[in-house]
Amino acid sequence: MKKIISTLCLLLLSNAAHAALNVFACEPEWAALTQELAGEQANIYTATGALQDPHRVEARPSLIAKARRADLVVCTGAELEMGWLPVVLRESGNADVQPGRAGYFEAASAVHMLEVPTHLDRGDGDVHAQGNPHIQTDARNFLPIASALAQKLMQRDPGNKAFYQQRLNAFEQKWRAALARWEQQAAPLKGVAIVVQHKGFPYLSDWLGLHEVAVLEPKPGMEPSAAWLAQVLDTLQQHPAKIVLRAAYQNERPSQWIAQHAHINAVELPFTVGGSDAAKDLYGLFDDTITRLLKGMQ
């Protein structure tokens, strides 16, 4: 009897020691990063897919139920999720993951933001007060974010502090090597003129030295009209570009129209993990992004 009880106790204890953190990741890139840092210590739920416009997500019942059980919410922040996350968190009845609480993590707070507007006016379209939120397109950003996220994981699961530290060290080493490789591969992209469909790539441009000459959306978040596209085409006569970029979740028509009329290549980038077959994890995301950019140059 004693033996049974002690075995049960051991089982319970070992279970408790291995109780994984429930992580609610707003976007696939943060799910992938959490996976890198926490491995099997985390049960990760990804709230949005690579083929969904991250600005336009609904506060679905399933999201609220997942947030209810989360120990940690990992999101981009910078108002990217403002259309749905506040409702999800409020309705979840989970006090720990409310903004500002210990179970809430924003990746944007760990990096330097670009395109922070100097004045805010809805006439300028869907602009974010804290800057452009698409920070995941610059691979360099993952180093400070990984470090901050690992700190958060240690705080939420202090029992596995050494484990997270070790995973972070390993990630940083591997990521630095990958960065050097990507930057070398992407050297021919430096100074290349590009057109973007949505202002989704300032961080990518900043990293690889791409030169953005035009945007297909008349204002952020607004679909381009035929008249507007004709105007962009005019701009391209004076400032020729090599490629037109769009994210996997975006409608292909505007960039294909421009590609056809301006005789440039349309390139679809995965934008996040899962945005293409090759973008299976964070490494695949940037391998594929650079491969597609280089291919678009030909």
Q: Does 79 bind another protein (CB under 8 A)?
A: no
Q: Does 281 bind another protein (CB under 8 A)?
A: no
Q: Which is nearer to another protein, 66 or 242 (CB)?
A: 66
Q: Does 109 bind another protein (CB under 8 A)?
A: no
Backbone dihedral angles phi then psi of residue 245, each to the nearest 5 degrees: -105, 140
What does the alpha-carbon distance between residue 283 and residue 273 come to, in Å, rounded to a whole number? 9
Among 2, 119, 122, 263, binds another protein (CB under 8 A): 122
Largest CA distance in the chain: 86
Single out the segment in contact with another protein by CB under 8 A; choices: 87-95, 186-194, 235-243, 283-291: 87-95
Q: Does 58 bind another protein (CB under 8 A)?
A: yes
> 140: Cβ–Cβ under 8 A, 6 or more apart, which residues?
179, 207
Distance separating the N- and C-terminal Cα atoms of the chain: 74
Among 126, 183, 206, 281, binds another protein (CB under 8 A): 126
Q: Which is nearer to another protein, 139 or 279 (CB)?
A: 279
What does the alpha-carbon distance between residue 171 and residue 177 come to, in Å, rounded to a whole number? 10
Q: Does 256 bind another protein (CB under 8 A)?
A: no
Q: Is residue 205 within 8 Å of residue 186, measured between CB atoms?
A: no
Q: Does 86 bind another protein (CB under 8 A)?
A: yes
Q: Which is nearer to another protein, 128 or 167 (CB)?
A: 128
Backbone dihedral angles phi then psi of residue 20, each to the nearest 5 degrees: -75, 155
H-state helical runs in 75-225: 85-92, 142-156, 161-185, 202-208
Among 35, 76, 94, 136, binds another protein (CB under 8 A): 94
What does the alpha-carbon distance between residue 52 and residue 157 come to, in Å, rounded to a whole number? 31
Closest contact distance (angstroms) between CB of 136 and another protein is 18
Q: Does 56 bind another protein (CB under 8 A)?
A: yes
The two three-digit tokens of residue 202, written as one number: 């300032």
Of 82, 68, 80, give the one whose Cα is nearest residue 30. 80
> 134: Cβ–Cβ under 8 A, 6 or more apart, which residues?
80, 199, 200, 201, 202, 203, 271
Q: Which is nearer to another protein, 83 or 144 (CB)?
A: 83
Among 14, 173, 251, 260, binds another protein (CB under 8 A): 251
Backbone dihedral angles phi then psi of residue 254, each to the nearest 5 degrees: -60, -45
Q: Does 100 bind another protein (CB under 8 A)?
A: yes
Among 20, 43, 49, 281, binds another protein (CB under 8 A): 49
Single out the segment in contact with another protein by CB under 8 A; choices: 1-9, 12-20, 180-188, 217-225: 217-225
C-alpha R_g of the chain: 21
Among 9, 13, 222, 230, binds another protein (CB under 8 A): 222
Interacting residue ranges for another protein, rule: CB under 8 A = 48-49, 51-53, 55-62, 64-66, 68-69, 82-87, 89-96, 98, 100, 122, 125-126, 219, 221-223, 249, 251
